[in-house]
Chains A and B, each alone.
Chain A
Amino acid sequence: MNEINSPILAVSGLKKYYNNSSIRAVDDVSFTINQGETLGLVGESGCGKSTIAKLIVQLEKPSEGKILFHNQDLSTLNKEDKHKNKTKIQMIFQDPYSSLNPRKTIGDAIKDPMLYHQICEKEEVHKEILRLLDLVGLPANSMDRYPKDFSGGQRQRIGIARALSLKPELLICDEPVSALDVSIQAQILNLLKTIQKELSLSMLFIGHGLSVVHYISDRIAVMYQGKIVEEADSIALFTNPGHDYTKTLISSIPILDPTLRNIRKA
């Protein structure tokens, strides 16, 4: 199939202004994500990355512009179709500590949305949770535990399991490793990469440093003050950066990553 080239998400002319247009968090942004592709979104703190994520998952309403998912504007759907489509885009949050309800067991946190959307039968749900926990590398007994028993990295794994439980087609990852120890970051990145391949998920991966985003993305969009200033293939961006801000980002990568070092030398 040639589905690889048909966009799953198409964003055009997207704007989000706060405080009567005095804060232009997102200012006329357009991009597409193809089926099975990971688009990286980098930029400094406050440039509007999270706002784009919130707009895509409809936590916020755009001031202007369109977000098309499978060529459909989700905001114009009727209630029933909206409900059906709600499972198809899921999100993983930056802060794993506030992303789990401290008063819910891990099992319940994963189970409730699955049952609500009738993703699986009541009798099957236990098995399904075990499968998801195994998929993200957590022991089966995590199910009856509370979030306080888990580290940041483990919580992020739980967040990933919860997002995957709804069988999404598009996964929005808003700086999923920024809050984690460097030693844990690679584990979570690898997990996301493996899962993305296995399930042929489409992904928007947000980060503020190029090294992390480069590792996981097929294509990278560079954002600066609410606008996308450059968009290129993950490798082409390094070999031939167009915008000054991109060059700053590249030069700020510590030369520890051998693949990046080679690209930069070239």
Chain B
Amino acid sequence: MEQTSFIRRFSRHKLGTLSFFILCIISFAAIFAPVLAPFDPNEIVGGFGKAPTSEFLLGTDQVGRDVLSRLLYGTRISLMVGFLATIISSAVGIFLGLLAGYFGGPLDMVIMRFTDMVMSFPYILLVLVAAAIFQPGLWTMILILGFVDWPQMARLVRGNVLSIREKNYVKASKVAGMSHAYILFSEILPNTVAPILIYGTSVVAISMLDEAALSFLGMGIKPPQASLGNMLNGAQSLSILTSKPWLWLPPGLMILLLVMSVNFIGDALRDAFDPNQS
């Protein structure tokens, strides 16, 4: 019965609900890209930079590849980067935040100093340096983004743990002699799920934007593999911007759609988790 009222509160957020369905459709299309894409995304199948036709629904790029097929595969990459990077950074952030907040003392100090240190580096510089050091590629990018995004998550979780560990139900568990693992994962963690999920959505959005930015700068996904950032990278010149909008409009709009949907879902989650809205 908890779940039904949660869904009811979530669905009251119209944009969030719409975004959820949009994201489902996009994810479906991305997952089934190999089936849905009309062409091989990396094959030259048509003329150079041809406008959309009934055969090439979104036209072809400058080397004659089908834009629609590349869009589907690129979206797949963006979603993968967005979600996997978020899972990695959340896992690291949640783990360190739980330890720091629960045990406090010297362990807390060490973890938080380390967190501050990572946070004090200019974010983009950190990503660029890491991208320059390691072989660029999909997994490198996921790992890099995963390992720069965790500090905020760690702080968020730590802050929540600090207040939850003072609750009587945590004290009752301590008095009952329950293990630290039980208290951390069964008493405390379930009560931090809401802020974690809400913040997590913004990390998903940021990671997808970072993928686009890095690939656009040529330090992300290696061409010819399609990614939304790579597609934009291929459409940099002014003449293309003005005369061949089918080269940059689809990936640009897709990024916009993805990021906005994820953020609206975050908003709806925030409302749905708020116990004051019944």
Chain A residues within CB distance 8 Å of chain B: 57-59, 82-83, 86-87, 89-91, 93, 95, 98-104, 109, 112-113, 116-117, 146, 148, 159, 162-163, 166
Taking the closest CB of chain A, its distance from the CB of B11, in whole angstroms, is 21
- Distance, CA A145 to CA B71, complexed state (A): 48
Question: In the complex, which residues of chain B have a beta carbon less than 8 angstroms from the beta carbon of A90?
Answer: 175-176
Give Cα A57–Cα B173 distance, bound, in whole angstroms: 11
Contact of B191 among A87, A102, A112, A113 (CB under 8 A): A102
Given A95-B168, A98-B168, A116-B182, A166 and B190 touching (CB < 8 A)?
no
Contact of B172 among A58, A103, A162 (CB under 8 A): A162
A112–B2 touching, CB < 8 Å: no
**Interface size for chain B: under 10, 10 to 19, 20 to 34, or 35 or more residues?**
20 to 34
Instruction: List A contacts of B172 (CB < 8 A).
Output: 91, 93, 99, 159, 162-163
Q: Using A82-B177, A91-B175, A112-B182 as known contacts, list a sample of 5 further A-B pairs with CB atoms less than 8 Å apart, ordered by residue number in A.
A: A57-B175, A101-B187, A103-B191, A116-B179, A117-B176
Q: Check B114 for interface membership: any CB of A closer than 8 A.
A: no
Main secondary structure of the interface of B (DSSP, over half): helix
Is B14 an interface position by the 8 A CB rule?
A: no
Docked Cα-Cα span, A115 to B125, in Å, equals: 51
Is B169 an interface residue when CB atoms closer than 8 A count as contact?
yes
Q: Tell which of A93, A99, A117, A148 touches B177, judged by Cβ atoms closer than 8 Å.
A: A117
- Shortest CB-to-CB span from A49 to chain B, Å, is 16
| B174: Cβ under 8 A from any A Cβ | yes
Given contacts A112-B186, A116-B182, A146-B2, contact A59 B175 (CB under 8 A): yes
CA distance A109 to B65 in the complex (A): 59
B178 close to chain A: CB less than 8 A: yes
11 examples of A-B residue contacts, CB within 8 angstroms: A58-B175, A59-B175, A93-B172, A99-B168, A104-B186, A113-B176, A113-B177, A113-B178, A116-B176, A116-B177, A159-B172
Given the complex, which residues of B lie within 8 Å of A93, measured CB to CB? 168, 171-172
Cα–Cα, bound, A223→B124 (Å): 60
Asked if B167 is at the interface (CB within 8 A of a chain A CB), the reply is yes
Residues of B within 8 A of A82 (CB): 177
Chain A residues in 8 Å Cβ range of B171: 59, 91, 93
Give Cα distance in the complex from A146 to B179, angstroms.
23
Q: Which residues in window 229-278 of B have CB below 8 A to A?
A: 275
Q: Is the CB of A98 within 8 A of B169?
A: yes
Distance from B42 Cβ to chain A, minimum over Cβ atoms (Å):
48
Nearest A residue to B174 via CB reads A59
Distance between Cα atoms of A82 and B174 in the complex (Å): 12
A112: chain B residues at CB < 8 Å are 178, 182, 186
Of listed B172, B174, B178, B275, residue having the most chain A CB within 10 A: B172
Most buried by A among B2, B167, B169, B190: B169
Closest Cβ neighbor of B173 among chain A residues: A113
Chain B residues 161-208 with CB under 8 Å of chain A are 167-169, 171-179, 182, 186-187, 190-191, 193
> Would B176 and A101 count as touching, CB distance under 8 A?
no
- The 9 A-B pairs at the shortest CB distance, nearest first, are namely A86-B177, A99-B168, A103-B190, A113-B176, A93-B168, A101-B169, A98-B168, A98-B167, A57-B175
Chain A residues lying within 8 Å of B178, measured Cβ to Cβ, are: 112-113, 116
- Most B CB within 10 A of own CB, among A83, A87, A112, A117: A112
Residues of B within 8 A of A166 (CB): 176
Tell me the bound Cα distance from A83 to B275 in angstroms. 37
A89–B193 alpha-carbon span in the complex (Å): 32
Bound-complex Cα distance A116 to B182 (A): 10
Residues on B with C-beta less than 8 A from A117 are 176-177
Which of A90, A99, A159, A163 lies at the interface centre, i.e. has the most chain B CB atoms within 10 A of its CB? A99
Q: Pick the most buried of B169, B175, B193: most chain A CB atoms within 10 A of its CB.
A: B175
A59 to chain B, nearest CB (A): 6
A240 to B89, CA, bound (A): 67
Residues of A within 8 A of B2 (CB): 146
Cβ B176 vs Cβ A87 within 8 A: yes
- Report how far A97 CA is from B81 CA in the complex, Å: 42
CA distance A83 to B173 in the complex (A): 13
A95 and B171 CA atoms in complex are apart in Å by 12
How far in angstroms is the closest Cβ of chain B from A250?
31
Question: Which B1-27 residues sit within 8 Å CB-CB of chain A?
Answer: 2
Q: A101-B191, A102-B191 are in contact. Are A86 and B176 (CB under 8 A)?
A: yes
Q: Say how far B6's CB is from chain A's closest CB, in angstroms.
A: 12
